[in-house]
Structure 1
Amino acid sequence: MAEFTEVAERVWVARYEWFDVNVTLVGGERGLLVVDTHGSAAAAREVVDDVRRLGAGEVVEVVNTHWHFDHTFGNDTFREAYGALPIHAHENARDELEKWGEQVKKRYDDAPEDPRHDDIMATRIVLPDHTFSSAKVLDLGDRAVELVHPGRGHTSGDLVVRVPDADVVLAGDLVEESSPPYFNDDSWPMDWPLSLDIVLGLLTPATVVVPGHGTPVDRDFVEEQRNTVGIVAETIRDLASRGVPVDQALEAGEWPWPREHLATAVRRGYEHLPRSQKRLPLI
């Protein structure tokens, strides 16, 4: 159980212990928009109970900020609870969930001792059915909500949700507060800073920014995190341009976060750099 806290007018956030993930509700005349649905059918049933306990209305739309299972595996539960809800996501997020969702279940199937094993295995993956490439607007009656794909970063299909009249932006995992941003095998570390530049362009000094994980933050926090992600990207670029081999780059570089957090970022960054920005490895 988690409490939904109102962070702006008719915008509520609940922070769940498993993965420290945030689920957000945006209220409008038509009902509630749910942003992210948690990581299993069972976990989402807890979210549905918390939504009903809040008593702010019925859910009428769902948004997935990206494909990762801790943000999407509750989709089926919300449809069971509220009917054939439209589920919105970036087109890449839909494709990635289709491509990799079952692999997540396979990992849990291979770990029967995991306390969430049964929950994950009992979850039916439901793909978003309303996708877009750049931007779209959702109509909640008396409130418009904007979905914006700022570019690749945490995944290739990240989106942010902007509620203009409340000056709120839901940033998904492009921004994280409770730990440094997480670089996965599907992350784009060289693009991430540029995507955060687009996000910063959506913010005012007073904007409430809800990260995918952790407490709400402000524009200054996002700008600082953008600059730190930028340091990671530029360090990778510098090492590659000097001919440092990828298997030596992690030890050779000076990093803003612990090295063990950045191994995947370095590998992915080297993979994504054009050949013109790489020198032959130093001998």
Structure 2
Amino acid sequence: MGFEEIADRVWVLRHPWYDLNVTAIGGERGMVVVDTHASAVAAREVVDALARLGPARPVAVVNTHEHFDHTFGNATFLEEYGELPVHATEEAAARTVPAGERAKEAFRESDDPRAGEVLATEVRPADHTFSSAAVVDLGDRQVELVHPGRGHTAGDLVVRVPDADVLLAGDLVEESAPPGMGPDCWPLEWATTLDLVLGLLTPASVVVPGHGAVVDRRFVEEQCDDLRAVGETIRNLASRGVPQVEALASAQWPWPVDLLHDAVARGYAQLPRGARRLPMA
């Protein structure tokens, strides 16, 4: 397991646990590391892989959102490299500890062989936050952080490396499985958020999803279309008075229905009252 250079001084570690991507971006001042993995033990594996890249050290960490598999390595990075700035959106930083506690609660009831290391991990939220956009200066290149809107969570960000034409999408885009539409997703807004992300891409852009293989602009367009179909289907069903409990069985969906229970519940809850008709008799 090691980092692979996908563009000039942009390396991706595709870790087998959760098929998670951790990315390192190099510049003359050091490296920015994007996402830190799901436990202190996993983060130590990432630190060891970073050491094999050479002498450059991280000067900043970025969390693409608050979920434990992207943030539970923060404390390890701070222990290893000193008090690095950890960047995230205001929403993500505020939700990191509560989200982490919910994840730990789930692992307490799990037989996952790595549950113990997750439960033993200290949760450290980001301490450098922004609402819409920020820049990390690496001297000879700028790393742009953009909150394009709500989708996978309320606080998603994407990371853009303009001179390399690379964009790190976090879990707004996933390659190895359908997008994770959990109990904190925003299914009615996600496609619009990806529309903004597409506006940051060129035809030649390299896109790093939160999980899975590196993709291109076309892949993002197709996933955006599928997410738009989910949102529009929810709106259509609700406007016709189809009860939420019957929604999954009442339409065609781009992904298996067992992955969409939270998306439908969240979509119905997010619709304004005037957009929902009374259930049909």
Q: TM-score, normalised by structure 1?
A: 0.98
Partner of residue 77, structure 1: 76
What is the CA–CA distance in structure 1 between the aligned matches of 2:58 and 2:268, rounded to whole Å? 43
Counterpart of 1:22 in structure 2 is 21
Taking the aligned partners of 2:8 and 2:271, their CA distance within structure 1 comes to 43
Superposed displacement of residue 263, structure 1: 1.2
Whole-Å separation in 2 of the counterparts to 1:215 and 1:264: 25
Deviation at 1:103, TM superposition (A): 2.0
**For residue 42 of structure 1, what is the aligned residue in structure 2?**
41
Q: Hey, what does 2:65 align to over in structure 1?
A: 66
State how far apart, in whole Å, the 2-side matches of 1:6 and 1:224 are: 25
Q: Say whether residues 1:205 and 2:203 are aligned partners.
A: yes
CA drift at 1:253: 1.1
Aligned partner of 1:9 in structure 2 is: 8
- The residue aligned with 1:196 is 194
CA RMSD between the two structures: 0.8
Deviation at 1:106, TM superposition (A): 2.1
Rounded Cα–Cα distance in structure 2 between residues aligned with 1:28 and 1:62: 14
Distance (whole Å) between structure 2 residues aligned to residue 97 and residue 136 of structure 1: 19
Distance 2:257 2:112 in 1: 27
How many aligned positions are there?
281
1 CA distance for matches of 2:8 and 2:279?
55
Moved more, 117-126 or 131-140: 117-126
Query: What is the aligned-residue identity percentage?
Result: 62
Q: How far apart are 1:101 and its partner, in Å?
A: 1.4
Deviation at 1:81, TM superposition (A): 0.9
**Structure 1: distance between partners of 2:252 and 2:119:** 41
1:154-188 CA distances to partner (integer Å, 9 max, x unpaired)? 00000000000000000000000001101010000
CA distance in 2, matches of 1:264, 1:25: 32
**3-state SS, counterpart of residue 25 of structure 1:** strand
The answer (yes or no) to whether the contact 1:64–1:72 under 8 Å persists in 2 is yes
Question: Does structure 2 conserve the Cα–Cα contact (< 8 Å) formed by 1:27 and 1:56?
Answer: no
> How far, CA to CA, are the matches of 2:49 and 2:203 in structure 1?
31
Pick one of 152, 155, 159 that aligns with 1:154: 152
Instruction: State the partner residue of 1:142.
Output: 140
Q: Which runs of 5+ in 2 are unaligned?
A: none
Tell me which amino acid in the other structure corresponds to 1:22.
Answer: N
Is the contact made by 1:185 and 1:268 (CA closer than 8 Å) also made in structure 2?
yes
Aligned amino acid, residue 252 of structure 1? S
CA distance in 1, matches of 2:170, 2:50: 20
**What's the offset of the Cα at 1:107?**
2.0
Q: How far apart are 1:99 and its partner, in Å?
A: 2.2
Q: How far, CA to CA, are the matches of 1:255 and 1:114 in structure 2?
A: 30
What is the CA-CA distance between 1:37 and the residue it aligns to? 0.2
**Paired letter, 1:34:** V
Cα offset for 1:56?
Answer: 5.5
* Equivalent residue, structure 2, for 1:215: 213
Instruction: Could you tell me which runs of 5 or more consecutive residues in structure 1 were left unpaired when the two chains were aligned.
Output: none
The residue that corresponds to 2:185 in the other structure is: 187
Residue 251 (structure 2) aligns with: 253
What is the Cα deviation at residue 36 of structure 1?
A: 0.1
Look up the match of 1:117.
Answer: 115
Question: Alpha-carbon deviation of 1:121?
Answer: 1.7
In the other structure, the counterpart of 2:96 is 97
Alpha-carbon distance in structure 2 between the residues aligned to 1:117 and 1:136: 35
d(CA) in 2 for partners of 1:137, 1:101? 26
Determine whether 1:281 maps to 2:279: yes
- Cα distance in 2 for residues equivalent to 1:10 and 1:188: 33
**Paired residues of 2:68 and 2:99 also in contact (CA < 8 A):** no
**Structure 2 residue 73 is the aligned partner of structure 1 residue 86:** no
Which amino acid in structure 1 is aligned with residue 54 of structure 2?
Answer: G
